[in-house]
Every structure is written in C-alpha cells, then in structure tokens.
Structure 1
C-alpha cells in the first residue's frame, strides 16, 4: 500500500487545481490575448496581470474572476515560470476557488485562461511531459513504463488513467476519455494506453501501487498517498470498448475518483494561500469594504495608543510624586529621628509602594500591548 512521507492538508471542496507546461513561445503573451478574448466575450468578468515581483522576477502572475453556474463567483490565480528542469518551456500552476463546492459541470478554469484549439502548446503535464486530455501510448520498454508510472503517481496534480487495448484499434478507438468527461475534469486527466502485447509488462510495472489493469479494461491510478476512501476495485473497469462509443463505466470511475477527498498536491498549499491572502482583482464593493476595514483598524490603533499615552503619563506623575516623597523623607531623616509610637515608613518603602501601585494598573489594561498589536495589524494590511 502506498504511503506518504509527510501528512499534507486536504484539498478544500471549493478548490480546482491544475499544473502544466507551455512548450513554445511566450506563455505570457498567449495568456494576455486569451484572457482579453474571454473578457470581450463575457466568459470572464475581469482579469489582471500583477506587477513583476522583485523577489521572483522570472515568475508572472495572472488573476481572473468569473461567475459559474449563474451566480457563483470564482477567483483564479495562474503563475508562470521557466521550466527549471529542461531549460526551455514554461511551467504553469493554476488555483481556482469558488464560493460554493466545486461542480465539475462548470467550465474548466484552464480552458478560460488558455486558448482552446488543436494548435495549443500549454496542455502538457509538467511531471511527465505527456498531453492532458489526450491518449498517450506507453513506452515499449517495460523499465521505461515502470519509471513513467512511478512518476505519474507523485505530486497528485492530475488523475492518471491506464487503458489496455485488447486488440489494435482503428481511428474510432482513438477517442480519449476526456472527451466524454464533464468540462471541469477535461484538463485534469492524463490517459495512458497499453498495446495488446504490453499487458504483462504493464501490470509488472504497477506492482506496489495496489492496482492491476484487467485485459481489455482500465484502471484509475490511486496516487501517493491514495485518496481517503479509495478502494482499487471501485476504480477498475473490466472492459472498455474502443469503438468510439461513450465508455460509461470508465467515465463513472474517473468522476467518482475526482470526488474523493484528496491531499493538496505538492506546492499547492503556497499557491492557495497566495490566492486567498494576496488577491488584487477587487470589485468596487470589495475595495470599499477593504478601506472600511483599514479605517476601523486605524481607529483601534489610535485608541490603543491614546490609552498607552495616558497610562505612561500617569506613571510619570506617580514617579514624580514618589521621588518628591523620597526626597522629603530623606531630608526629615537627616534632621534627626522623631519620637513616635508608630515607626514611619522608610523612603525606599514609599517609593516601592508607589511603583507597585503603577504595576497593578499597568498589568490590568495592558494598553501598551494593545497598541503594539494594533499597529502590527495596520502595518500588515497596508
């Protein structure tokens, strides 16, 4: 059974994730043109390209927002950076979040950022460099197949499906399963096909994953770690008819697998945090609410600083009184002892008592701490 070396937080059911690779030309230029076309056609409400970050000058970030299902607001963030491993091409990461649990019948966020069409260069899996939503034949060598499938289950960004062709297919059998999936899943699936003679080597390569491919059937790979509630038998299809008809059982298996609770993919946590906490594409109403929040925090900080000022002024006055009492007591002591039934408090005791009274007052309101905390909140919001 596959296990994870570390426990990752779960993917919220409101979130849609994808990661890929753009293989030629400037991804930024493609995104600018595509997003403008989507805005002109009212497929999205608005978009913006964030200013270059001095800390990461090679990374470009785009934000977009739209309404799905009629009135559900979706916010999405796509970042593009050079492919560090290849020296050419660019990797992209896309995180989208809706106000309600994600419905795979909604449009694919990747399809709204990137242009659709046969001559696109963005729909490639970043880990394996295989096409998203298309058929990818497995390597002829069993060792290469094993290495490929081992890499596919790492990271957790995409759903990998392996299909065994029981016999050589014609053009009708070359229809990818993604064509039959809901729109929200079409850019999240990598489909692998094994030739008729590869079944034995394929199942040898899958040893240790907990799944096997039936002859002429298919299986959804569980990934590492496997989703909660995953049972290999539930996502294994005994027969897939590659005749151009809708593979209903396979579509059902992929759709059910996509609905399982899954850990956040590798590197997705930071991207989701950036989407939620560093969002720039605000509506007028959101900007107004943000400014009102800042005004409230400024008022809170001012009130806390005023309390702190009053407290320190009171402390200074008390210190002056204590010092005057100490000086007076010192002069009296120098003039000689006075007969008395009750011993007078020493000058040092009087000064200590004064500061003890201030200490009690100081600890009760903790105004200085309130001022510091309020000032930090204001600074962080700016």
Structure 2
C-alpha cells in the first residue's frame, strides 16, 4: 500500500482513514485516481477535493463526487463520481450479501471484512486486473456473500464458486479465527489472506482458462483435472508428505493444483502490498552482522508493481521478511511471515507474476 498525505495540512494518512487526524477534514478515496483526498462540501450530497494550499494536479476545478452508499454505515471511505447512477463504489458494487446489521456484533465484523476487501480491490486496481460485478456480467462477474452461520444446519463454508466468493463472517472475530487456525494447523490466517486466496480461484478462470494457459499452468502446478473433491478428502484424511515445504508454500497447497495456485497467488499479493508499503517508506535492510553470502541486504527502492522479473521482487522480499520477523519477535509476537519460499515456489510465483504483467500490457 502506498502512503497518502492530506493535501490540506500535510498529515500522513492511512488508507482506511475517513477523517484527517490533524485538520479533521473528511477524506475520500477516488479509485480512478488511486488517491485519498480531503473534501469540501459542494451541495447537500456533493463533494469536491480540497484544492487550496498544497497543490494537487490530479483534479480539475469541476470534479465532484459523493460518498459510496456504505459510507453511512462507517465501512467505506470510497467516492463515486457525482454523475454516476450507481450508489456504490467500485469495491462495494461487488457485494451481493452483507450481514444482518441489526446485530451490533455483525456490523463490527462487516467493518473488519470491508477494510480487508477494499485493500484487496486496491491491489487488483494497481495490478490492472479485470473484474466486474455479477450485475455487469452474470457469467464472468465477481460477487461477495458475507454470511453468518445459521442457528441450525451446517456451517457456512468460506470458498469460491463461479465468481461468487463466500466468507463466513466469523472469520472477522479474532478469537474464532485463531481457534480455526489452530484447529486447521495453519501458520497464518487473516481475513485479508482469505480474500487473497479466494480471489485466486476467480482469476484462475479469467487468466488461465479464459486465456488458454492451461498447458502452461500444468507444467508449473500440475494437472488441475485431478478430481478436486477426492484430492481434498485425501488431504484432510492423510495430510501431506513430510517434504511438502520443498515444493509448496503451505501444506494446503499440496492438496490440489487449484489450491497450490490459490496459495501461491495469495502470497504474491502479500508480497506486492507489503513491498509497496516498504517502498513508500523508503526502507533499506542492511544488517551489520550479515555477510554478502547471507543475501540479507536490500534497498526497497522500486515500486513492486513496476518490477518485471520475479527475481527482483524476491531479492527485496526475503531480507524484508527476515527484518519483519525479527521486529515481531522483539515485541513478543510470532513471526509476521512464517513461511519459507523454496526455488520451486519461486517458479510458481514467477508464473503468476508474468500472467499479471501480460494482462497489464494488453
């Protein structure tokens, strides 16, 4: 995530801020410009970017916006062009089902979920990846269902099917999510991680199947025509081999090529978002005790979205994660990035990277 600055007072801002913490101007994110800006009222429901003081060349004098409809629920700070007929922003247009807001705890969970989903959509926009709502394209569109477990009957399963991503809102509860992480034997489990994993299945359809890349995919990930249900059943009953970490980013990735793709894709998005943040902060990793052969020195001096080769991302990522994990341990926390990336997984990440670059070049 890049850094944002209030163009009224100069305060640095978080992507999720609804109001500047210094000057208290309301803030809005404009996805068409990838900008978070202070706003002034120009009518009952109309806003325009603050244009005095610090110069912002992104905006013309007549650009007017309004908040996404979900701003009134405190879950969205994105803007919609004033002339748009759609009440929702690019991120909220994708919602098909939201939680029952009459339940306060559900509203809190939805706010947590939307923060993660908006960060996901930001990354998709930065990558220039195609997506559309189911209203725009019923067959190839994308939608989200945020559901709670029923009082009776089976639990809601988080997953993807034909462009519909379902998320059990219990995942937004820290305690329930941690219980699930331990029960599943996972090293890492977050709401944002779920979104990044599940969106990968959507993009397998869009970038692999629709673009005729199945054979190239099979050379790297294996044959996805293996029966999916049987593969998952085998994984949950028998687990994975002891040497899984030589070939996969996680044990679950070994279950089936589709899950290998999804886990790899999720880590690719982890890398891009974190490296962009490090780049925005001008971070440099240069441990005094490390030798050249340790490969732990790195200047995060390139925007990861502009790096053409996966090796360039890896060269920045590995030193950065070693530093992040060391800082976390200093605070008494477990590793922030508890993964090892073997050479085989680097090749898989490179496949994802090149597919995304190919789409952007079109």
Q: Normalization by structure 2: what TM-score?
A: 0.24
Q: Which has the larger radius of gyration?
A: 1
Q: Normalization by structure 1: what TM-score?
A: 0.23
